[in-house]
Amino acid sequence: MSALQDRIATLLTPFVEVRGAEAGGDDALGFDYGSVPFALQVVTLTDGLDVVSLTGVLGWDLPAGGGVRARVAGIADALQFGSVLVVERDSDVDVVWRYSFPATGLDDTPLTTMLLLVLDGAAGARESLAAS
């Protein structure tokens, strides 16, 4: 795990219960925020450029009919941060949210603020999806 990922885990601890990376896994941190399960990874693209990558599941095993694509499109349009992907299987769909941002050079307060802004947006998107 990178130093930045360790730092993020510490910064998020007052807000969520962070689960460490699993042995043999992909080194992602796991946590739930606003009923959304998230995975967080830090990727070093080049020396001096670390990117935080977040993935959250907004819904799973939703019936493919009933205008789910239209509902997801409306939710995606309202998001300030991130993108939404609909993964279709036979008669069900999963809805996944993703967002990445460069974090190199961010002090603790701006990094925490950025994390909470994007996590809160995804949590709001899940609430909207569940309510529709």
Torsion of CA 24, 9, 76, 37, to 10 degrees: 60
Per the CB < 8 A criterion, the answer to whether 41 and 9 are in contact is no
pLDDT one digit per residue (tens) for the chain, 132 residues = 689 999 999 999 999 999 976 655 678 999 999 999 999 999 999 999 999 999 999 999 998 877 888 889 999 999 999 999 999 888 899 999 999 999 999 999 999 999 999 999 999 999 998 887
Per the CB < 8 A criterion, the answer to whether 33 and 99 are in contact is no
Which CATH number do you get for residue 16? 3.30.1460.10
Number of domains in the chain: 1
Among the listed residues 101, 108, 111, the one whose alpha carbon sits nearest the alpha carbon of residue 81: 101
Burial of 5 (0-12, 13-18, 19+ CB in 10 A): buried
Residue with tokens 């959250």: 56
pLDDT value of residue 25:
63
Instruction: List Cα–Cα distances, 8 to 35, 60, 76, 112, 113, in angstroms.
Output: 20, 27, 26, 8, 11
Q: Which domain holds residue 22?
A: 3-131
